[in-house]
Chains A and B, each alone.
Chain A
């Protein structure tokens, strides 16, 4: 029986409310934030209560919450798309919202019911994505060999944990190293937790230890996710991914990336990289941790050029 982490599908709609898993509280609490409108959706994205695949779910489901405005529905949905597109810069929100707006415009032009068209599209999309993600999980598990020691970074929204449980059921002995993934520590909080829940063997390491792990031959494979892909195969992923990729190449370790192919931008150079407020990691529990006058610099993502990627396990999100 394969293990499904709550992170695999961290947002769902029930009775006109979108429930979003607050990933900042995992593993201490599994708490879902009720979201009633686009304003709430933008807040959970911007405050990083959800990320990666969770953002995708939030964006699509938000349109279901906004189908009964007082005025013109098409104009309203365009406003919803605009708000979502501007929530965070790196994830390609516009590629997702553009589909819904396209469907709405087409329904409007044909005098069809926009509500029905949008609802059918979102529900069809979500069902398709779920099936394709399950298929990709099987491919990830197939890429794991007996006695592999796999380094991973940040969190790949339940897919690695599910793949680990499949590999375990196949009789493969696979060990994992998870980077802490500062500053939000998604590796320490999310990845370690869900791999443990999947009964996998996992060891937590500081972000600065990846060189040691590779030089000492403690890992033989790297698997990471991606937030965005470019037409040439470059990807953007959590900050730290670039240096992992450079070192993996230097030490001859294959880098496997889970991707969502897109032709929205030509290369990684065209991807906007979010620069967040350095204070987010300089302050912990209300205290400055490096002294009062020190500045911080916080890029949220980096680009991994396609030349550094050994294998991409793609999912076609229909974008």
Chain B
């Protein structure tokens, strides 16, 4: 039981991400959490090629010294971002939010690694080709 609680506690102590930009019409920019019995494991992010999405990172407030790496920048490029807003940082008052922008560069799958204070959260990214003109259906 101690091991179970330890695993749950460790999962809860990793960075969490929040979407900060809307999906453009006719394209995909959506991130969903992947949860198991042990809690939040990772995120899955689906992006159309040529589309960008802004995310913020939290770990007891805005992520400190956030580092984000893409396994394959040719598929999904990740860039630091500046939202220019303050957000609550736990019990220590407000801090500038920690943000990143992910850009879908080419169809394929890759993984992002978001690190802060020695903790890590993965984002499984799938970049899809944009629809051909007239190919959209209502089944979305």
To the question of whether A and B form a pair in one complex, the answer is: no
What residues of chain B have their CB less than 8 Å away from a CB belonging to chain A? Answer: none
What residues of chain A have their CB less than 8 Å away from a CB belonging to chain B? Answer: none
